[in-house]
Structure 1
């Protein structure tokens, strides 16, 4: 990517139906033909040349396996559609999501295929009329009911995008470091702080974190304000029935500020990019990292990390608040398509969907990187880290979507800038909450 618990035990096989095109030739009068005028056999139809532009966000070194899979889908799609060429455009995620794509949707000229997030993005873009309704295509291909959840991409019963993978956010931890220091997985927030204090006293960074990219801060922060204020707090704030100044939200901001003051995160975190923060965990300098399940593949890849065999996963513990037991988990990141496709382009998009959302590709992304399948089928063999993540998902009392799929872009920006200010000691938790609520109020007025 909505509020239904994700089941990772579905055993349905992905079914996809093959498309065939057949042409009709006019019957010719055999008597009128002569050896000199009878046309030679027509060569195989190579198709009228045409191009589809595909924008992806796979531009980092860690994205290379996913880019290779996408290139494989491109080749197979081009081979199946005569005349087709698919052009790739790689773009940084936030630039695509919050700048380029929004401008293109307003202007009515998005690429034919593009990376798309569910929730707010899909809802906003669907209103422009520039997102292709995939419902009839999925029905035609026989895969409409083969996804674990399409809720984040569904607006008014129409499906506008397809997720590549499911995710859950929580704490990756180094089992060896925990064992060497006599530590157990914390069950409460107080136990978590005691674990962090012990690690810090041993010269181990408790949490790896790169805060230069502020969205990385708000992964953990999102879970913390849900823990303290309730599973539906973000939706309630957007609806106007609650505020960012609620005591539970402010308490979460204060706890996060305290964690930074105690030195629980990577040194100089505000100057570290997200991958640099992750590297503290990969190299064994940090014992924990709050991250999404998408990081599990790289954390357990022996060619990329020194801790591959020691990685586990647990849910961020609560402190008795109304949101204890809830998990940030959904299916929210994938691809969308332009509503302005001609018949030839639409035929190619159907083939792209067949290839991209096949069991072969879903299994590849799982085996190579541990990505949780977006579609319903049995995994041949699950990695230990995937078992850990699936176990956490199975034990969750309920799930909630990432805040940035719910709030307005201006509120998201205020949160991201405000969290960096909080970490830098430039604003208090109370003032931060007031600042964000002010933006929330302004957005609500604009909608009236």
Structure 2
């Protein structure tokens, strides 16, 4: 992946914003004409879709899109399957290796998708996207551009801020922090008053990685990660910014900012979210998915108590509060599909304006498609945060090649578990980076 592409994927996001369990949704016989073959008959077509919309509201949006598509194409049957995040990645890699991949699969772009592209597993749909590209924010669409070609369509985009309980803040007279020192002071006050400062369920490793990336971004700024990835300017993953991020995490663990057993608690099944919703924990560092989760799981809490702020700046750090962590979700098509035309039509249906409106109304998600109306002030605030940002750092495990992304998650997990040191964690990532990406120049 060339540096120009890297910057396009991450920085252009601002410009665009500004401008498993299987379930089959049965089609209704509406008489709508679908794709016809030469003899005038309609051949039955079956398409399989894999996604991670496990909660009821997000899955309802997916199923609504599937039903609309099946109603318009009665000869097509769609089987959609939902997975937890990390099991999905494992299952997809296994199915790809066995030649049993679904027709359409959820994707995040970056090095994760590029690895499958290099193996010839992803359909090149760049020319087809030309016909629908204007319907999507450039910010979201650019995530799926690899080496000058687009391999997917986006359905959501969002930041990963610090969420907090407004009622607890009001009770203790706390204010939204602007600096890390102010945030740590708030956490100390929370500890003194019997609250868990930060909820965390890190069994799947990626939730803790959000804090690591935020800290390293604040310490090193945007260029440090890009230089380390591109192996330029002598910067490596042993840079001080990565080591310092690990030191801060371990300081917070030692001070008791996190709940006992955080590394054994599964975020995907809701353990850490329940600590947050119940008022036992005052903060949680999470993706924009928390806005959707809370709407389904704790609507009263979301309505009255849910607030968020950008990750605080670090005194002496190179990063600023307008450089934020975030990412997007979308779908790509497997090159093995027997029905590329129908698969692309379904891809559009899973990401179009109707789906985007459902995502906002049902699941409180920030859509990657244009023309969606937002009436929820919390979702509007999320979109405003994206508009005001000057740089959006994609998640390391989505941006980096899969093996390197996994090493990043494992070493961060070990930092939270106090089973490694910040220096060794950085060295382990860099050692693998040299093997995969080459030495830094």
Which of the five TM-score ranges fits, normalised by the shorter chain? Answer: 0.7 to 0.9
Q: Which residue of 2 aligns with 1:288?
A: 283
Q: Which residue of 2 aligns with 1:124?
A: 115
Q: Which residue of 1 aligns with 2:3?
A: none
Q: Which residue of 2 aligns with 1:340?
A: 336
Partners of 1:409 and 1:24 in 2: CA distance: 43
Partners of 2:93 and 2:126 in 1: CA distance: 23
Deviation at 1:322, TM superposition (A): 0.8
Partners of 1:50 and 1:145 in 2: CA distance: 27
Residue deviations 1:338-360 (CA, integer Å, cap 9, x gap): 22344xx2332243234222222
Deviates more, 1:119-128 or 1:299-308: 299-308
Q: 1:392 to 1:83 in 2, by over 3 A?
A: closer
Q: Which residue of 1 aligns with 2:418?
A: 425
Deviation at 1:109, TM superposition (A): 4.7
Deviation at 1:364, TM superposition (A): 1.2
Partners of 2:203 and 2:46 in 1: CA distance: 37
> For structure 2, which runs of at least 5 residues remain unmatched after alignment?
1-8, 20-31
Work out whether residues 314 and 392 of structure 1, in 8 Å CA contact, stay in contact via their aligned partners in 2.
no
What secondary structure is seen at the aligned counterpart in 1 of 2:197?
strand
Work out whether residues 13 and 142 of structure 2, in 8 Å CA contact, stay in contact via their aligned partners in 1.
no
- What TM-score does the superposition give when structure 1 sets the normalisation length? 0.84
Partners of 1:400 and 1:9 in 2: CA distance: 15
Match of 1:6 among 10, 14, 19: 14
Residues paired across the two proteins, number: 413
1:111-150 matches, within 5 Å, as: 111-140=102-131, 142-144=132-134, 146-149=136-139, 150=141
Work out whether residues 112 and 397 of structure 2, in 8 Å CA contact, stay in contact via their aligned partners in 1.
no
Residue deviations 1:315-355 (CA, integer Å, cap 9, x gap): 01011311222101233x2211122344xx23322432342
| Structure showing the higher helix proportion among its residues | 2
Q: Which residue of 1 aligns with 2:194?
A: 203
Residue deviations 1:394-420 (CA, integer Å, cap 9, x gap): 332322211123323222222222222
Deviation at 1:280, TM superposition (A): 0.8
Work out whether residues 121 and 335 of structure 2, in 8 Å CA contact, stay in contact via their aligned partners in 1.
yes
Match of 2:408 among 404, 408, 415: 415
**1:317 and 2:312 matched:** yes
Match of 1:155 among 132, 146, 149: 146
Deviates more, 1:108-117 or 1:316-325: 108-117
Partners of 1:52 and 1:378 in 2: CA distance: 27
What secondary structure is seen at the aligned counterpart in 1 of 2:163?
strand
Q: Which residue of 1 aligns with 2:27?
A: none
Partners of 1:347 and 1:245 in 2: CA distance: 46
**1:434 and 2:427 matched:** yes
Match of 1:69 among 61, 67, 70: 61
**Considering only CA atoms, is the larger Rg found in Structure 1 or Structure 2?**
1
Match of 1:86 among 78, 82, 99: 78
What secondary structure is seen at the aligned counterpart in 2 of 1:312?
strand
1:263-412 matches, within 5 Å, as: 263-274=256-267, 275-301=270-296, 303=298, 306=301, 308-320=303-315, 321-325=317-321, 326-331=323-328, 333-342=329-338, 345-381=339-375, 383-412=376-405
